[in-house]
């Protein structure tokens, strides 16, 4: 990777809270406009290093097996790598036939690396393929979560499903979610109550919530 390409990779990485970059993409299901075609929906775009590779194949199988669970949450899945369309089509065909599933989501073909550059999913220290990145985008087109894994470690589809649920619950109820929610070691499936905004609120918090507070800044509750 030359110096100029490396600079472009580093410059293209979006930040949490940014609008998802506008892009026109070609997928195995036809052309798409992102985030426009997903307006009003949550979506998860996940990049993989390469088609016909062992770890990526296990990930696609896992996402396929959980696709209905994502659908139930109103979440669309979109795959992506810098492979060509022919490779994607053949690989998806192989997965469907050999693993007895049907991959239901589109996969972006990004042979020129344009999408990867916009998303910052090519990390110079890990070569010229896309890393295992995950981008969760809300119905307003805002980037809410990013995860990056190296080529040698596969992602957990269950964890991606969990964090989408957590984001949706947090947005709906104005709360935060503890580690491992809904199976937190301290609070189980309780949620975290936002901290008070001033000293008066801090003094009243423990009095109002009692045993549901370990201190005024750490209170939990059932939904």
pLDDT digits (tens, 9 = 90+) for 158-200: 999 999 999 999 999 999 999 999 999 999 999 999 989 898 8
Q: Is the pLDDT of residue 2 over 80?
A: no
Residues 73-101 have a mean pLDDT of 97
Q: CA dihedral in degrees (175, 178, 180, 184; nearest 10)?
A: -110
Query: According to CATH, where is 3.40.30.10 located in the chain?
Result: 3-155
Contact 106, 79 (CB under 8 A): yes
Distance between CA atoms of residues 17 and 12, nearest Å:
15
Residue 182, exposed/middle/buried by CB under 10 A (0-12, 13-18, 19+)? middle
Residue bearing tokens 């890990």:
126
For residues 35-58, give the mean pLDDT: 96
CATH: 3.40.50.720, 3.30.1020.10, 1.20.1440.230, 3.30.360.10. Which one for 174-223?
Answer: 3.30.1020.10
Alpha-carbon distance of 200 to 167, in angstroms, equals 29
- Contacts of residue 182, Cβ cutoff 8 Å, sequence gap at least 6: 165, 188, 189
The pLDDT value recorded for residue 154 is: 95
pLDDT band at 112 (very low <50, low <70, confident <90, very high): confident
Q: CA of 216: how far to CAs of 144, 174, 185, in Å?
A: 28, 17, 20
Which fold is adopted by the domain 3-155? Glutaredoxin (3.40.30)
Q: Indicate the pLDDT class of residue 128, thresholds 50, 70 and 90.
A: low
- Mean pLDDT for the chain overall: 92
Give the per-residue pLDDT at 9.
Answer: 47
Cα–Cα distance for residue pair 77/30, rounded to 1 Å = 15
Which among 201, 169, 173 is positioned nearest to 182, based on CA atoms? 169
For the chain, residues classed under CATH 3.30.1020.10 are 174-223
* 132: pLDDT strictly greater than 80: yes
56 in active site: yes
């Amino acid at each position: 990777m030359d110096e100029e390409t490396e600079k472009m990779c580093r410059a293209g990485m979006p930040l949490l809270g940014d609008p998802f970059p506008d892009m026109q993409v070609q997928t195995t299901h036809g052309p798409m406009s992102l985030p426009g075609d997903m307006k009003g929906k949550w979506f998860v775009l996940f990049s993989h290093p390469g088609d016909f590779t062992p770890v990526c194949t296990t990930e696609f199988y896992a996402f396929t097996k959980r696709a209905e669970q994502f659908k139930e949450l109103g979440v669309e899945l979109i795959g992506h790598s810098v492979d060509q369309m022919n490779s994607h089509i053949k690989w998806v065909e192989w997965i469907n036939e050999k693993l007895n599933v049907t991959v239901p989501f589109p996969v972006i073909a990004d042979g020129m690396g344009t999408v990867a550059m916009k998303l910052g999913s090519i990390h110079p220290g890990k070569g010229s393929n896309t890393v295992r990145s995950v981008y969760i985008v809300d119905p307003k087109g805002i980037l809410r979560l990013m995860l990056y894994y190296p080529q040698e470690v596969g992602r957990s589809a269950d964890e991606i499903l969990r964090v989408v649920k957590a984001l949706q619950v947090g947005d709906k109820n104005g709360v935060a979610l503890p580690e491992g929610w809904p199976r937190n070691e301290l609070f189980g499936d309780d949620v975290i109550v936002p901290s008070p905004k001033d000293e008066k609120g801090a003094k009243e918090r423990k009095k109002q919530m009692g045993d549901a507070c370990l201190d005024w800044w750490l209170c939990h509750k059932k939904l």
